[in-house]
């Protein structure tokens, strides 16, 4: 979605990030869920006319990547290059992700700046040398606290996320004085209650910090696939310190002051709940140590579950998004997960649930409405949209219903990250328009050839078509291809239109579709699904 001309030059961009994803394998539904959510959020703000910056990318250092590359008999860099170019970037293009940048942690624009950041902390006496021994999960790339581990039947200590044995590591490392930032973080959380979402995630982080923080090991010396510590190249920078800094290096930290000033910090970091502590504890502490501003919000989405287990590559439950888009289509895919699962909560994917919602809400409620309206304009007015001249209470109710839908969806999607609530508000309006047509019975009104009858019929069909125009705008961030197809079928102007132009409270205007526009019945927006068993 192109940015509108109402963007203010020099204004702070609405900056949204996804986690940078580990490239030990191809992406699955869980990765796509977070990325689509970020895309919908940033498209929504672009459609408001705001300046937006959407960042995603890949995390390419660390022991897990090194071992995966070795298992595939290639160098770590060759493995990363292959996965990024053949799997990650193509998927985001396939899903219509409109990211503004894609950062890779092996890029020089990142590695040089990471070394500078860590050197600055070292020079400020925020980093010291010491030793550490403890349980380490290679999958998480994280030292675990003993209390975090679970126990297998044979007594083996396992990572609670990957369900794999941890390794006991002992090495000489450099440490960041994280323990000193506990009181500052608690003070910050208290002053900014919306910093961590949802509330349950905030409570978890606050309780964790209240128990006391340990200093953070920020280097590793037992392998070399990482960014070297600038003052001691026998060590590489801990992969999580490396990874978190992408949010700064991608927008010009120590390289492009103007870009950095107008973008950083992020307004919203979208993360999985399993990496919440890194983003809500370590990352703000690092920024405080450097005197940089802290992000506006860290929003943790839940897990996609299959058979009661978190969907992941290591659990062999990673379903490819293409398995679903080939059957349901890309727009329906983008819509389904945000519609079916409350953002911030765990949710189970079900092929049957997707099919039922697609048929009921997309095909029957939305797609059928668009087809019926286009068909009636074609049948009764030769495809030329008539003017509305006989508005009454029924039309007023539709106008008010749209204003309510816009206001609710704008608050829920644009501000609260309640994608499900916003989508439901839009589809409540779709149902209202369907009900309006059922009650007004234009097929019966069409039998009245009097001027009053023709005016009434014209008003009904114009009201329905104008409602669809507004729905196309509201659903554009979620289903851009469908919205464009509907927009074209309604004969609207070339530009899809801005959210701010929609009737909402006292702003915006009803009646943007021009009378006389050519309405055509295009392809069915949501075709009937084929039985996958017949494939």
**Phi and psi angles of residue 132, each rounded to the nearest 5 degrees, phi first:** -150, 145
3-state helix/strand/coil string of 219-256: EECCCCCCCEECCEEEEEECHHHHHHCHHHHCCCCCCC
Residue 80 is assigned to a ligand binding site: no
Name which of 34, 33, 5 is nearest 18 in CA terms. 34
Check if the beta carbon of residue 324 is closer than 8 Å to that of residue 31: no
**Largest Cα–Cα separation, the chain:** 91
Candidates 253, 241, 284, 257; CA nearest to 122 is 241
3-state SS, one letter per residue, for 438-480: HHHCHHHHCCCCCHHHHHHHHHHHHHHHHHHHHHHHHHCCCCH
Evaluated on CA atoms 456, 461, 464, 467, the torsion sign reads negative
Please name the helix (run of DSSP H) or strand (run of DSSP E) that holds residue 170, with its range, or none. strand 167-176
Going by the DSSP 8-state scheme, the letter that residue 270 receives in this structure is: E
> Is residue 525 within 8 Å of residue 328, measured between CB atoms?
no
For 89-131, the three-class secondary structure string (H helix, E strand, C coil) is HHHHHHCCCCCCEEEECCCHHHHHHHHHHHHHHHHCCCEEEEE
* Coil/strand/helix, residue 135: strand
Starting at the edge strand that comes first in sequence, how are the strands of the sheet with 228-229 ordered?
Answer: 219-220, 232-237, 228-229
> Do 302 and 150 touch, CB atoms closer than 8 A?
no
Nearest 5°: the CA angle 197, 202, 208 is: 150
3-state secondary structure of 496: coil
Q: Is 279 annotated as a binding residue?
A: no
CB contact at 8 A, 162 and 310: no
Q: Where does residue 482 rank: exposed (0-12), middle (13-18), buried (19+ CB within 10 A)?
A: buried
Please choose, from the candidates 217, 262, 264, 224, the residue with its C-alpha nearest in 3D space to the C-alpha of residue 245: 264
Cα 382 from chain centre: 42
**Number of C-beta neighbours around residue 49 at 10 A:** 17
Closest CA to 105 of 135, 68, 80, 71: 80
Q: Which residues are part of the catalytic machinery?
A: 28, 31, 137, 140, 159, 162, 310, 313
Give the DSSP letter string of 402-434. HHHHHHHHIIIIIIS--HHHHHHHHHHHHHHHH
Binding site for Zn(2+), by residue number, is: 137, 140, 159, 162
Binding site, by residue number, is: 137, 140, 159, 162
């Amino acid at each position: 979605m192109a940015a509108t001309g109402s963007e203010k030059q020099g204004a702070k961009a609405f900056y949204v990030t996804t986690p940078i994803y580990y490239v030990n394998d191809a992406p699955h539904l869980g990765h796509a869920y977070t990325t689509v959510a970020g895309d919908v959020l940033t498209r929504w703000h672009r459609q408001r006319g705001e300046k937006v910056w959407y960042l995603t990318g890949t995390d390419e250092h660390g022991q897990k990547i090194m071992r995966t590359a070795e298992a595939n008999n290639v160098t770590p860099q060759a493995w990363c290059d292959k996965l990024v170019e053949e799997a990650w970037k193509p998927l985001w293009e396939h899903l219509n992700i409109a990211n503004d940048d894609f950062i890779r942690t092996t890029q020089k624009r990142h590695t040089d700046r990471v070394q500078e950041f860590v050197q600055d902390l070292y020079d400020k006496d925020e980093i010291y040398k010491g030793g550490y021994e403890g349980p380490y999960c290679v999958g998480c790339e994280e030292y675990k606290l003993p209390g975090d581990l679970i126990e297998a039947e044979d007594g083996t200590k396992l990572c609670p996320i990957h369900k794999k044995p941890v390794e006991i590591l002992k090495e000489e490392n450099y440490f960041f004085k994280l323990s000193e930032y506990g009181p500052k973080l608690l003070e910050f959380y208290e002053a900014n209650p919306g910093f961590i979402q949802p509330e349950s995630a905030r409570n978890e982080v606050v309780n964790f910090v209240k128990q006391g923080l340990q200093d953070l090991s920020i280097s590793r010396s037992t392998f070399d696939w990482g960014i070297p510590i600038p003052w001691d190249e026998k060590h590489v920078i801990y992969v999580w310190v490396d990874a978190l800094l992408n949010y700064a290096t991608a927008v010009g930290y120590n390289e492009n002051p103007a870009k950095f000033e107008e973008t950083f910090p992020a307004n919203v970091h979208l993360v999985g709940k399993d990496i919440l502590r890194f983003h809500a504890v370590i990352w703000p502490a690092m920024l405080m140590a450097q005197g940089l501003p802290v992000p506006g919000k860290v929003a943790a989405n839940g897990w996609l579950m299959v058979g009661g287990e978190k969907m992941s590559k290591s659990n062999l439950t990673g379903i490819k998004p293409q398995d679903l888009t080939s059957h349901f289509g890309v727009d329906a895919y983008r819509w389904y997960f945000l519609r079916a699962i409350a953002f911030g909560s765990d949710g189970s994917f079900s092929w049957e649930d997707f099919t039922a919602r697609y048929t009921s809400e997309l095909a029957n409620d939305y797609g059928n409405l668009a087809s019926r309206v286009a068909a009636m304009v074609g049948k009764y007015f030769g495809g030329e949209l008539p003017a509305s001249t006989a508005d009454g209470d029924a039309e007023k109710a539709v106008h008010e219903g749209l204003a309510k839908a816009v206001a609710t969806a704008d608050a829920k999607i644009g501000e609260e990250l309640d994608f499900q609530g916003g989508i439901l508000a839009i589809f409540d309006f779709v149902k209202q328009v369907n009900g309006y047509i059922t009650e007004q019975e234009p097929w019966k009104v069409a039998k009245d050839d009097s001027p009053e009858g023709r005016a009434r019929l014209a008003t009904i069909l114009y009201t329905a078509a104008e409602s669809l125009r507004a729905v196309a705008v509201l659903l554009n961030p979620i289903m851009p291809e469908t919205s464009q197809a509907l927009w074209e079928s309604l004969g609207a102007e070339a530009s899809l239109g801005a959210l701010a132009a929609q009737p909402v409270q006292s702003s915006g205007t009803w009646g943007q579709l021009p009378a006389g526009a050519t309405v055509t019945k295009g392809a069915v927006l949501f075709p009937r699904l084929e039985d996958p068993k017949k494939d």
